[in-house]
Structure 1
Amino acid sequence: MARTARLSSSLIVSTALDLVDRHGVDALTMRALARALGADPMAVYRHVRDKEALLGALCDAVLADLDRFDPDRPWRGQLERFAWQLRDSLAARPSLAAVLAGAPVTPAALALTQQAVVLMTGQGVPLDVAAGGLATVFAYVIGFAVTEASLPDPAEGRDELRRAALHHLGDPETEPPHLDTALRLVEQPADFGFGLELILEGLERRVPPTGSSRDADGS
């Protein structure tokens, strides 16, 4: 068993993230974490108050791992990059998406917000548009990730979805046109990039011409 003196907040968080990556949030308990650390559970509690605080620390770590906003690069490309990075991070650990949706504001979230607002307002974006736009993008990414995590495995769920659809349509002998298309929309959320593009284009329409940027890659 590892000596508890070697425990640190960063080690606890990285080990907890590894557990979430392999087994999901539901499997993350203070006992399981202590076992993975080779430590006594009470030693872990000396570094983290409870599971709620631990989950908050995990959310903070995920956000802190994202690239910082650069005030010298166009705002639209950087906001797009932020959205994709967060989406990819949550796709790698889908059970954490719902936790992040309900998590309190963390230091990393505050830092990212401040960087983004400074970036956008410095390039002519009105403050209310910058704040509202960032909140909208964040909510979109989280909502998309939560929805994606809740969907059944397409290989296992497609037949069940088809049976349910035909049952509710009332005529199992007659398959309506475009049913396959409709089932695909049920099985998986709309393309992430398409929705993100709509949000970013809507934001640009609210920005005076001098604050507009079509540079999608942030360079």
Structure 2
Amino acid sequence: MAKTVVPEAARQRRRRTKQGTVLSHGLIVETALRMLREHGAAGLTARRLGRALGADASSVYRYFRGMDDLTLAIADELISRAMRDWTATGDWQADLRGLGLRIHTAYLAHPQAAVLTANRVTGRAHEVAADEAILGTLRRAGFPDPAAARIYHAFIDQSLAFAALDAASLALPAPARRADEEVWRATYARLPARTHPHIAATAGLLVGRMNDSAYPVALDMLLASAAAELAAPAGEG
């Protein structure tokens, strides 16, 4: 039988935790984010979370149906942080670029949480609000609904895919990350033109670029393609 989740208004503990705090949905999510940052996904369990909160593990289930429910809440919290204080300006390209960069930044601030949640669809309030904002921006710009849905799909998947990719790199142990970054200089930059002419020709450029995220460039390419489509005469594109 599924566990009953207590409504938010009825969740306050009558007693404080060992740390002197009162449990809440937000406190549990924030503590879970900290545990993911410090210990990774394998270190986030109800028992350990309860210990970190100074409460019994069963207390977590007063707020969440299970650990997967908590994972979805973490995903929605990351979207909430991306959307915080964002307002549309009426310039659809600038608005979507800003929002995409906000999503990327919010996820990279919590790389372990990003790896855990970037592929999840929560259907929760902040995710729904973000989707409404993106689709509204595209429709107000003049994209017909089929184009708006298609560009929205590409935009959000690109944002989350790069967030997951870049977060996975940040989540690596520091020695492994440094070793990966050094490969471009230690291996690619030393390949001879005789055997690898195209790599040799661009090696200096690769060394200068490949350890940085390609997301801003990819985002600009997506938005430029969408803008060209919008500007094309009817019947083209």
**TM-score bucket of the superposed structures, by smaller chain:** 0.7 to 0.9
Which residue of 2 is the match for residue 56 of structure 1? Answer: 72
1:38-67 Cα offsets, whole Å, 9 max, x none, are: 110011112111111111000011112214
Asked if structure 2 preserves the Cα contact closer than 8 Å seen for 1:83 and 1:141, the reply is yes
- 2:32 is equivalent to residue 16 of structure 1: yes
TM-score (norm 1): 0.76
- 2:137 is equivalent to residue 114 of structure 1: no
The alignment covers a number of residue pairs equal to 205
- 2:113 is equivalent to residue 90 of structure 1: no
The Cα of 1:90 is off from its aligned counterpart by 1.2
Q: Which moved more, 1:100-109 or 1:66-75?
A: 66-75
Distance 1:200 1:184 in 2: 24
Relative contact order (C-alpha < 8 Å, sep 6+): which is higher? 1
Which one-letter code corresponds to 1:104 in the other structure?
V
1:75 paired residue among 76, 80, 92: 92
Asked if structure 2 preserves the Cα contact closer than 8 Å seen for 1:91 and 1:145, the reply is yes
TM-score (norm 2): 0.71
Aligned identity (percent) is: 22
Distance 2:149 2:119 in 1: 19
Which residue of 1 is the match for residue 219 of structure 2? Answer: 196
The Cα of 1:167 is off from its aligned counterpart by 11
Query: Tell me, which stretches of 5 or more residues in structure 2 are unaligned?
Result: 1-15, 233-237
Which residue of 2 is the match for residue 37 of structure 1? Answer: 53
Asked if structure 2 preserves the Cα contact closer than 8 Å seen for 1:13 and 1:54, the reply is yes
Which residue of 1 is the match for residue 118 of structure 2? Answer: 101
1:152-211 Cα offsets, whole Å, 9 max, x none, are: 655333556666669998x9xxx9565454456554443x221111011111122257xx
Distance 2:181 2:231 in 1: 47
Over the aligned positions, Cα root-mean-square deviation in angstroms equals 3.4
Q: 1:141 to 1:26 in 2, by over 3 A?
A: farther
- 2:20 is equivalent to residue 2 of structure 1: no
Which one-letter code corresponds to 1:83 in the other structure?
G
Query: Tell me, which stretches of 5 or more residues in structure 1 are unaligned?
Result: 210-219
Distance 2:55 2:222 in 1: 47
Distance 2:178 2:207 in 1: 13
Distance 2:99 2:50 in 1: 33
Q: Which moved more, 1:62-71 or 1:6-15?
A: 62-71
Which residue of 2 is the match for residue 212 of structure 1? Answer: none
Q: 1:39 to 1:16 in 2, by over 3 A?
A: same
Asked if structure 2 preserves the Cα contact closer than 8 Å seen for 1:30 and 1:41, the reply is yes
Asked if structure 1 preserves the Cα contact closer than 8 Å seen for 2:88 and 2:95, the reply is no
Q: 1:99 to 1:129 in 2, by over 3 A?
A: farther
Q: Secondary structure at the match of 1:149?
A: helix
Give runs of ≥4 in structure 1 deviating > 6 Å. Answer: 161-164, 166-169
Matches within 5 A, 1:121-160: 121-151=139-169, 155-159=178-182
Which one-letter code corresponds to 1:48 in the other structure?
F
Distance 1:48 1:154 in 2: 35
